[in-house]
Each structure stands twice: as structure tokens, then as C-alpha cells.
Amino acid sequence: MCTVCGCETATHEEHAVASPQADAHGHHHDHPHAHSHTHDPIDFGAGPAGLEVAGLTQERTIRIERDILSKNAAYAGLNRDRLAASRTFAVNLVSSPGSGKTSLLVRAITDLHAHWPIAVIEGDQQTSRDADRIRAAGAEAVQINTGKGCHLDAHMVGHALDRLPQAEGGLLFIENVGNLVCPAAFDLGEASRVVVLSVTEGEDKPLKYPDMFAGSELMLLNKVDLLPHVDFDVDACMAAALRVNPRIQILQVSARTGQGLGAFYAWIEGRAGAPPCR
């Protein structure tokens, strides 16, 4: 996860200095094992750490990852307690870029704001474009720009909560940075994680990025209004998601037409309880 990309920890100084036998990227070519010429993938996730980082042993990688995630878990616990105290139902929306998360939120805010207090935390590397769209739809929003970071963490979310009104019995949507890898490892203190996959992507995404789908309670298959125009196997996609996570719920929706969103709203009410009187 982020031991590789470095967005959460300064591990670069721990990388071994490239030797004369290493190439320009620090890769050594005097490996003791034989090179394979089969068509099998080169698996850098086969060790106990689930990843390989140049210059770090598997054991050291595991220790760094545990340290990062334990600190994040402490902040997530504080966020969870805070949200529970105000009876706020928090949803962590995750997906690859372009799946339609923001469009789904804009539609949901339009449909639900008369019944629920709604706030949104927006995560992007740069700009406030998504937060501006959310505010225009009628919800409070805080934009988090992560710079080179590829995900939100619980500490960032805690700072954003400081800037949001705590509406009793409300909804909080956290739109994570578009990325199906690193956000899977970071608890933000949410009540539920919802993964959004669009039919303009590939039906095999759950198999390629299993951690994200394994850790999500609900999958929204978005942009189903485009199904007549794209080559996408809905049944294969659903089977892939259920293979990774047999407990995941799946709803087919369209942010553009509103198809299936009633079922999503019913799911929210089932998880959060009845809307407060307004």
C-alpha cells in the first residue's frame, strides 16, 4: 500500500543506495533466482507483506505499515466517537477516478436535503471543483487537497470535521481520492464504506483490486444508463465482486437518470435510521 508510494511516511531514506550493479531505477540484476520466460505475471505481492519495496525487507515493510495504520486507527477511533455522539451516519465513498462519485452525491443531496442534514468532505489532490459542486447543490462541504497524497486518512478527516457543523442525526459523505488501491487500507472513522464502479470501466475491476471491494459493504454500479452503448457484462461484474466479498450488497444506479437511487436511499435509511424531523 502506501509503504510503496510514500505518501504517508518518509521511508525514502531507508531505501538502499543503488550499487554499481543496479540500473538507473535502483534495480539489481544479479538476482540469485533464475529468470522466467513464461507468460505468468511477475508477482511483487507474494511475500508476507503483500508487496515489495526496493531496499526494504518484508519484515521491515510490515513494521512500517503496522506503525502507519496503528496511528491512523487511533485517529479513526476519535472520529468514530465524535460522529456517534452527534448520531451522524458517515459513508466513505471510494472508487477509481471518473466513476461518478461527485455526480452521485450531487443527485443524492438534491433528493435528500429536505429530510436530512447533509455534509460532505471532498478529497482530491488539487482544486476545489468538487466541493464547489457540492455547495451549489445545497450541502456544507470541506475540500481536502492531498497534494501528492493518493488517499484521505483519519487525521485529515478529523481536521475537516472541525470545520463542519455537527448536525444531530445527519449524513456525512466522505468522497475519497479517486484510487482503488491505497484508500482500501485507511479507516477514516466511517460507519460504512461504499465502492462505486461505473460501466465505463471493466467488469473485472473487483478481481484486479480485491482489497477495496473486500472492505466495502455496498457496491454501486453506476452509469447503467450507458449499458446499451458499452461492452460491459453486468453479471460477470457482480459475480467478480461476490467472489471477492460474498457479503457485499450491489445496487445498479444512474446518477444521470436517477435509476436505482431509491434503493440506495433506502439502504441509507436502513443503516442510519429514520431521517430526523426538520
Contacts of 241 (CB under 8 A, 6+ apart): 197, 206, 213, 219, 248, 250
DSSP track, 186-226: ---S-SEEEEEEETTS-TTHHHHSHHHHHT-SEEEEE-GGG
Rounded CA-CA distance 170/118 in Å is 6
Place of cell 455526480: 103
Domain assignment of residue 194, yes or no: yes
Burial status of residue 178 (CB atoms within 10 A of its CB: 0-12, 13-18, 19 or more): buried
Burial status of residue 4 (CB atoms within 10 A of its CB: 0-12, 13-18, 19 or more): middle
CB 133 within 8 Å of CB 124: no
CB 209 within 8 Å of CB 237: no
Max Cα separation, the chain? 70
Domain assignment of residue 129, yes or no: yes
Buried b (16+ CB within 10 A) or exposed e, 69-82: beebeebbeebbeb
Q: What is the CATH number of the domain that holds 110?
A: 3.40.50.300
CB 134 within 8 Å of CB 102: yes
Q: Which residues of the chain have pLDDT under 70?
A: 1-38, 43-46, 49-53, 61-62, 64-65, 277-278
Q: What pLDDT sits at residue 11? A: 38
Q: How many domains does the chain have?
A: 1
Domain assignment of residue 54, yes or no: no
Rounded CA-CA distance 254/107 in Å is 10
Domain assignment of residue 210, yes or no: yes
Domain assignment of residue 145, yes or no: yes
Q: What pLDDT sits at residue 32? A: 54
CB 79 within 8 Å of CB 189: yes
Q: Cell digits for 115?
A: 429530510
Q: What pLDDT sits at residue 108? A: 98
Domain assignment of residue 251, yes or no: yes
CB 105 within 8 Å of CB 220: no
Q: What pLDDT sits at residue 62? A: 65
pTM comes to 0.82
Domain assignment of residue 60, yes or no: no
Contacts of 30 (CB under 8 A, 6+ apart): 21
Note down the domain range covering 156.
70-272
Domain assignment of residue 168, yes or no: yes
Q: What pLDDT sits at residue 40? A: 74
Q: Cell digits for 175?
A: 468522497
Q: Cell digits for 49?
A: 507483506
